[in-house]
Structure 1
């Protein structure tokens, strides 16, 4: 019996988010049809982490690797999910749960965003293109600085004029970022969400783009891109290694 892969998404009141994460989970299953892949959510969407963890235990599994479908290692990954998994272990003492790394800013996800930009119809050699990488934003300045460093990586292999980061919940805003890109020579703007799924915040960003850059193109969220599946499966393999190391330590 293989070790199940439990994908944990954020959850949202917007049903588009759950659909996008279900499609991402389906992409993972498609890449590894031999693997038991399950999807759950931290909040607002079903099934919950508790429900899936308890189902894994009830079906007789002795372990599972939990992969957070999160782009950053913030409160949800460091506090919320570990607490839920600790409670799951307490309810199911025979179940070994290992939390793998978040998806993070893996270069493959940057490439996936680049693909989403290209899907709007722009070409890699178009020097008039300026890209706004639109992210959630954090109250932590260091976290925002790390996210801001992703935008220049989008330019790899392109002739695009520039790439800058904006945030939905803090500065710099989308209008400010568009202004900087145009000052730097961009004639056409593409807004690229650094989001796994569409939702209320991407809608807010799209509205801002409509108001302040009406000629801008708006790319899709990362969603069920094949490269997301690759990263999730790499995190799963890393979790399996942690699981193996833990068992060796316990038997020593």
Structure 2
């Protein structure tokens, strides 16, 4: 590049680089530092090393409960979301009103989550309705999962619908001519052709599920007891209710490590089942 072009490129890149440094890299670096200190909102800071992490996994029962609930929520929410979105995408692809159905099913995904959660809370707590699903520790988390699936499956449905539309018709016709049944075509032809979309939807859904906050916060506030508390709720409570930013930063790094590990496993595992067109 000529020198003039270099300066032009630098001028265009500078705002993005400054934004990345100020709003991403600097907060990440500060979170690392804060996780090693007792960091009250008011008062002096004290270096404690890894004591915040030891406290989370050793002396804080609410964190372990939140960790368990987050994994249970993810284990239920992700397959339900993917299966429902995939099934509806195939059903819509055969409908004469496909555009209408896509709009209707996608509406929950673009409406404010807080408003949706408030409406679902009112539905769960309708006068005279027994039992109160949100007040029962056995059903509260399942209720949060149900609301979350309703809210979120529309996005993956759109992704899968696009993947279905892009399937090469000659391949599907060849499978039909060879005598493959509908189930056989689905398993051996259609799903492999959709595997990049399935991989993308799965990895994004898992990441979103591990960061769940709004739904349990509005529906149950983490209750009853700690039955629906999640990792992000625990981080929020440590930082803004207990006002211990060091402990909150440590919890955030635990969440980051979990997401990083799960994402890395998914990227390694994709080599076995994701098929990209050459």
TM bin, normalised by shorter chain, reads under 0.3
Structure number with the higher strand fraction is 1
TM-score, normalisation: structure 1 = 0.24
TM-score, normalisation: structure 2 = 0.22
